[in-house]
Chains A and B, each alone.
Chain A
Amino acid sequence: MILKHQTSSRKYAIRHSVICSLIVLFCASVLSALVLVLPLNAYPEYSNSKKFSTISMCLGTMVECQIDGAEFQDVSLPVYLPPVRQAGTHVATFQLEFDRADIDSDVAAIFLPRFADGLRLELNGDPISPNTDNFERYKDKPFTRLWHLPFYTTFTERRLKETGNTISIELEAYNFTQITLSPVYIGDAFRLRIANQFRFVARNGYIRVAFALQVGIGGFLLLLWLARREDTEYGWALAANLAACLTCWHYILPNTPFSAHAWTLIWNIAIQVYIYALYRYSRKVIKLPSSRVTIVWVTAFCLLSSLTLCFIPVQQLAVGLTYYHIGNGLLALSVPYLFLVNLRSNPYINAAHFMIFIMAFSFLARDFIYIYVDPDRAIFQMGQFVPLLVFTIITGLLLTRLAISLNQAESLQQTMKQTIEDKSAEIVAKENQLAVTRERHRIMLDLHDGVGGQLVNTLAYMRGKKRSDPVVKSSMEAALRDMALIIDSLEGYEDLSTLLGSLRSRIEPLLDENQIRLLWHLNGTPNIETNQRSNNLSIIRIIQEAITNAVKHSKAETITVSSDDRSITIIDDGKGFDLQKARQKTGTNSGMGLEGMKHRAQEIGIDCHIRSTPSGTQVQLLWPT
């Protein structure tokens, strides 16, 4: 039975994870598809400008291609020349021709929205790109990587010919990167300048701002982490943030003091660190039980793949990076997957995380397609938007979580405060009760040791004197019994039966003295709301009175006390008395008298029936049903 249950729950778990995987894939593909088919035209037509979508291309440097017979072929733009297996760099030269009349503007300019990597530009044989005005001198130096910027420059009017102007573009790239050239615009300087600025803002400018913001968020995460070291999710978010900053730096300044190869390794591994840190962050946020095995596997995978990447020869780096990022993509996909599978543990926070990570994944997938699969399918890169987007959302979610925690803490505090108040009140009440109990106990002891001791002592004295007044003696004995009765009632026994039992043990000396037999037939006692201390006292008083009356006045031989759930009855076999006469004697005797008994019974809501015949007397206390 248990086994069956286990298998069925495992089956359910498998089905559950399959469904979740499908949802992740579905969301990722829908979002990616949406991003892919977004009507983002990266290279629109600009007014008063001419867009060149075809260009003649020669695989070689500008100098090599100036030789007669150099092979030029027409290619359509954008063009992407894949990485090559040869050592060093690869170069291509592009040429296009235009007439002055093509430009419907007084000031002419050229605008390259996108190219890679190093750029040399000539108009009619004159260099116009700033880095290349003296290019023989820089021939042996590494070229300046400019892929992250658009290029824009105006033409000097005197250099322009009426017809047959030639633009030569030489592009150089490392063997593991591709040569890229977007359509070339020549036309109105003002219009193209705006387009250039827009391009700049969308790529490099945006990333610079994003970088600054990320550093700020990093500082915030650092503070959070320092404040709550045990919540390692802040630490992992911080790690992801640092890795993202490193990758962003590549967009800001692609040229570093290291070799291009080393830097490429660094910023690509930073991408993996970013994903790995987000994975760890996710496990923490979801509060998954720390599974050492899983962590070890994931960490080993990352370390091994990064290490392998480092040892791949530079010619194979492009291929290596492709597989490297496929692996990273799988790891990245597990992040939204985790949030989806554990949606129930914290629905809103986890759903928000799922959405943002699926979106980030699709953006990165688009970049992957652009770089490694086919640039034409994703002509517009979007990866640069991921880090800031993710960190803004993450920070927002962390703040939300913090606010929720604060609310919970406050309400908990409120509850605790309430509990403390309640408990305090309870303690005060208990202390009061305790004080009352103590005081009652003190009175009881005073009665017992003081009055009781005095009465016993006096009785002992009278016993020693031999000749003592029997009325005084019996009155003192009655006083002693009464005192005991008061103590009994003060002690607060809940049930009448114990009080009746106590009464019996007290009354026994009196019965022995008068040689009266007591029959004790207790079959339960009335147990109703009259069981309050003062009520119990009254009931016992009435019974004590009935018994002492029988002892003193009836000349009875036997007294029977019986009880059941509704009544207590005292019967003697004495000579009885005249009820009428007895009533008139009320108050003259030491006891309370018949009227007193009835009156007391009435006060606590029970009936007292007294019947007396010459063969005996019956006093019955009857509780209402």
Chain B
Amino acid sequence: MSKETSTPHTVLIVEDRIYTAKTLRADIDAHPALKAIAMAHNVADALQAIQQHRPRFVLVDLGLPGGSGIDVIDAVQTVSWRCECVVISIFGDENRVLEALRAGAKGYILKNDPHRNIGKQIMDLIDGGSPMSPKIARLLLKIAQSGVNSHPQNDNDIPNLTGREMDVLQQLSYGFKRKEIAERLSVSVGTISTHINSIYGKLNVNSNIEAVIFAKSKKLL
């Protein structure tokens, strides 16, 4: 921690709304381990800023003028230095967040939550504690369940989840917190976090999950 305090992680903020961006910057700068080095308000600026500032983290909004935040995430996947993306979202946007996670985003945080420190959220995420909303859990569960009945060739497209991971997803989709789930399943909170991280890990494969969801829902597969 002392090392991080001495050389804070650099953060690039990609957010088109000016006040939102400013608030994010203030929150990040307030954290001793983080430093906001630049702000970009559209995709083109963001791509330029990434090359220019070589940030450690990119905080990216998904709905940007002149393109999608996914484009930024895609660009970050190809850079030569260590750089990770964190999606900032409001809520009710889980489909797109899932897409961003699949594209390689490390995790996502909610930007309209003044009571939870953005800086701490980012640090939690770095340490592997990404949140998972009920809807994302529900989506993943749906995909995993559809995989049970599908052909083995399609395994690449579907995260191969364990029964326990599916249980955790089920509980998450009902809105239960990690601690509550740990109680309900009689395990430790750490175990639940491990499960969630494992699920994220399995999600981060190069596959077309959106296509699978669509195909399943339309009964094309």
| A interface residue numbers (CB < 8 A to B) | 430, 433-434, 441, 444-445, 447-449, 452-461, 463-464, 480, 483-484, 487-488, 491, 493, 497-498, 500-506, 509, 512-513, 520, 522
Q: Let me know if A488 and B135 touch, CB within 8 A.
A: yes
Question: Separation in Å of the B130 CB from the closest CB of chain A?
Answer: 14
Q: Let me know if A484 and B176 touch, CB within 8 A.
A: no
Q: Let me know if A448 and B115 touch, CB within 8 A.
A: no
CB-CB under 8 A from B4, the residues of chain A are: none
CB-CB under 8 A from A456, the residues of chain B are: 17, 20, 90, 111-112
Q: Let me know if B16 and A520 touch, CB within 8 A.
A: no
Q: Which one of A484, A498, A520 lies within 8 Å of B91 (CB-CB)?
A: A484
Q: Let me know if B175 and A502 touch, CB within 8 A.
A: yes
CB-CB under 8 A from A464, the residues of chain B are: 19, 22-23, 26
CB-CB under 8 A from B90, the residues of chain A are: 448, 452-453, 456, 480, 484
- Jot down 7 A-B pairs with beta carbons below 8 A, ordered by A: A430-B218, A457-B18, A460-B20, A484-B91, A493-B135, A501-B174, A522-B174
Q: Let me know if A500 and B174 touch, CB within 8 A.
A: yes
Q: Which one of A458, A484, A498 lies within 8 Å of B92 (CB-CB)?
A: A484
Q: Which one of B16, B91, B96, B114 lies within 8 Å of A506 (CB-CB)?
A: B91
CB-CB under 8 A from A498, the residues of chain B are: 134-135, 137-138, 173-174
Which residue from chain B places its CB closest to the CB of A519 in the assembled complex?
B180
The verdict on B113 contacting chain A, using a C-beta distance below 8 Å, is: yes
CB-CB under 8 A from A512, the residues of chain B are: 115-116
Task: Please judge, given known A-B contacts A452-B92, A459-B112, whether A505 and B18 are in contact too, CB under 8 Å.
Answer: no
Task: Please judge, given known A-B contacts A430-B218, A502-B134, whether A448 and B92 are in contact too, CB under 8 Å.
Answer: yes
Identify the interface centre among A454, A501, A504: most chain B CB within 10 Å of its CB.
Answer: A501
Q: Let me know if B92 and A444 touch, CB within 8 A.
A: yes
Which residue from chain B places its CB closest to the CB of A496 in the assembled complex?
B174
The verdict on B45 contacting chain A, using a C-beta distance below 8 Å, is: no
CB-CB under 8 A from B172, the residues of chain A are: 501
Identify the interface centre among B23, B95, B111, B112: most chain A CB within 10 Å of its CB.
Answer: B112
Task: Please judge, given known A-B contacts A484-B91, A487-B92, whether A463 and B63 are in contact too, CB under 8 Å.
Answer: no
The verdict on B133 contacting chain A, using a C-beta distance below 8 Å, is: yes
Which residue from chain B places its CB closest to the CB of A459 in the assembled complex?
B112
CB-CB under 8 A from B95, the residues of chain A are: 441, 491
The verdict on B93 contacting chain A, using a C-beta distance below 8 Å, is: yes
Counting chain B residues whose Cβ lies within 8 A of the other chain, the interface size class is 35 or more
Q: Let me know if B134 and A505 touch, CB within 8 A.
A: yes
Can you list, as one digit per residue, whether each of B63-82 has a CB less than 8 Å from chain A (1) or not (0)?
10000000000000000000
* With A453-B16, A459-B112, A509-B113 already in contact, 11 other A-B pairs whose C-beta atoms are closer than 8 Å: A433-B218, A454-B17, A456-B17, A456-B111, A460-B17, A464-B23, A480-B112, A502-B135, A504-B134, A509-B115, A512-B116
CB-CB under 8 A from A448, the residues of chain B are: 63, 90, 92-93
CB-CB under 8 A from A455, the residues of chain B are: 112
Question: A522–B114 Cα gap in the complex (Å)?
Answer: 28
Which residue from chain B places its CB closest to the CB of A441 in the assembled complex?
B95
CB-CB under 8 A from A506, the residues of chain B are: 91
Which residue from chain A places its CB closest to the CB of B65 in the assembled complex?
A449
CB-CB under 8 A from B92, the residues of chain A are: 444, 447-448, 452, 483-484, 487-488, 491, 502
CB-CB under 8 A from A488, the residues of chain B are: 92, 135
CB-CB under 8 A from B112, the residues of chain A are: 455-456, 459, 480, 509
Question: Separation in Å of the B104 CB from the closest CB of chain A?
Answer: 21
Task: Please judge, given known A-B contacts A453-B90, A457-B18, A509-B114, whether A445 and B175 are in contact too, CB under 8 Å.
Answer: no
Question: Separation in Å of the B30 CB from the closest CB of chain A?
Answer: 13
Question: A461–B61 Cα gap in the complex (Å)?
Answer: 18
Question: A520–B19 Cα gap in the complex (Å)?
Answer: 34
Identify the interface centre among B17, B95, B135, B175: most chain A CB within 10 Å of its CB.
Answer: B175
Question: Separation in Å of the A454 CB from the closest CB of chain B?
Answer: 7
Q: Let me know if B133 and A502 touch, CB within 8 A.
A: yes
Q: Which one of B19, B133, B218 lies within 8 Å of A457 (CB-CB)?
A: B19
CB-CB under 8 A from A503, the residues of chain B are: 175
Q: Let me know if B173 and A460 touch, CB within 8 A.
A: no
Interface residues of B in 115-139 (CB under 8 A from A): 115-116, 133-135, 137-138
CB-CB under 8 A from B175, the residues of chain A are: 497, 500-505, 520, 522
CB-CB under 8 A from A461, the residues of chain B are: 19
Question: A354–B221 Cα gap in the complex (Å)?
Answer: 50
Question: A433–B220 Cα gap in the complex (Å)?
Answer: 13
Question: Separation in Å of the A526 CB from the closest CB of chain B?
Answer: 14
Question: A212–B118 Cα gap in the complex (Å)?
Answer: 102
Q: Let me know if B115 and A457 touch, CB within 8 A.
A: no
Question: Separation in Å of the A153 CB from the closest CB of chain B?
Answer: 90
Task: Please judge, given known A-B contacts A457-B19, A509-B114, A512-B115, whether A520 and B180 are in contact too, CB under 8 Å.
Answer: yes
Question: A220–B130 Cα gap in the complex (Å)?
Answer: 81
Question: A487–B89 Cα gap in the complex (Å)?
Answer: 14
Question: A452–B23 Cα gap in the complex (Å)?
Answer: 16
Task: Please judge, given known A-B contacts A430-B218, A448-B90, A522-B175, whether A460 and B22 are in contact too, CB under 8 Å.
Answer: yes
Which residue from chain B places its CB closest to the CB of A447 in the assembled complex?
B92
Q: Let me know if B17 and A453 touch, CB within 8 A.
A: yes
Question: A459–B90 Cα gap in the complex (Å)?
Answer: 12
CB-CB under 8 A from B111, the residues of chain A are: 456
Question: A488–B95 Cα gap in the complex (Å)?
Answer: 11
Q: Let me know if B63 and A449 touch, CB within 8 A.
A: yes
Question: Separation in Å of the A452 CB from the closest CB of chain B?
Answer: 5
Q: Let me know if B174 and A458 touch, CB within 8 A.
A: no
Q: Which 8 A-B pairs have the closest CB atoms?
A: A501-B175, A501-B134, A449-B63, A487-B92, A457-B17, A504-B175, A460-B23, A461-B19
CB-CB under 8 A from B18, the residues of chain A are: 457
CB-CB under 8 A from B26, the residues of chain A are: 464
CB-CB under 8 A from B23, the residues of chain A are: 460, 463-464
Question: A460–B116 Cα gap in the complex (Å)?
Answer: 14
Question: A464–B138 Cα gap in the complex (Å)?
Answer: 36
Question: Separation in Å of the B99 CB from the closest CB of chain A?
Answer: 12
